[in-house]
Homo-oligomer: A and B are copies of this chain.
């Protein structure tokens, strides 16, 4: 029991991971999205219409996985598959109006959650927290390249 502080810090982060995951998954489910589909939709929101191939690369996921995710998003009315104007093999996954609104909402929701979690803290404390997390992230990347 010489130094339990690091272990406590890790415990808190793991707990935060779980709670944050549950919170976000529940919020997404309320809109008819799974985390993976939301990730794809969000990606689309940033990049505009994109081929499935490029989506697979952007999400570091197998092409087959994108087929399934897009199938689900099409069924839910979030995106459509449009023909690529110059490559008849490819399809351009394109957000519908509804999909674009939801994606914008996700973006706003993220800022809202951040405000809920950190908005009340004095800025210097949030700054210190960010610095500490940066250090931890750096160490994690060093050991796991």
A residues sitting closer than 8 Å to B (CB atoms) are 3, 5-10, 12-17, 19-23, 26, 110-111, 113-121, 123, 125-130, 132-137, 139-141, 143-144
Contacts and interface: CB of A to CB of B under 8 A. Distances in A.
A125 B22 CA distance: 28
Contacts of A6: 111, 114-115, 117-119, 126
A45 to B, nearest CB: 16
Looking at chain A's contact residues, is the secondary structure mostly helix, strand, loop, or mixed?
helix
A106 to B, nearest CB: 13
Contacts of A139: 116-117, 120
Nearest to A17: B17
- Of A9, A110, A116, A126, chain B has the most CB atoms within 10 Å of the CB of A9
A17 B13 CA distance: 8
Contacts of A5: 118, 123, 126-127, 130
A138 to B, nearest CB: 10
A125 B139 CA distance: 16
29 contacts: A3-B123, A5-B123, A5-B126, A6-B115, A6-B117, A6-B118, A7-B110, A9-B118, A9-B130, A9-B133, A10-B113, A10-B118, A12-B137, A13-B133, A14-B20, A16-B136, A16-B137, A16-B140, A17-B17, A17-B20, A19-B141, A20-B140, A23-B144, A117-B136, A117-B139, A117-B140, A120-B139, A129-B129, A132-B132
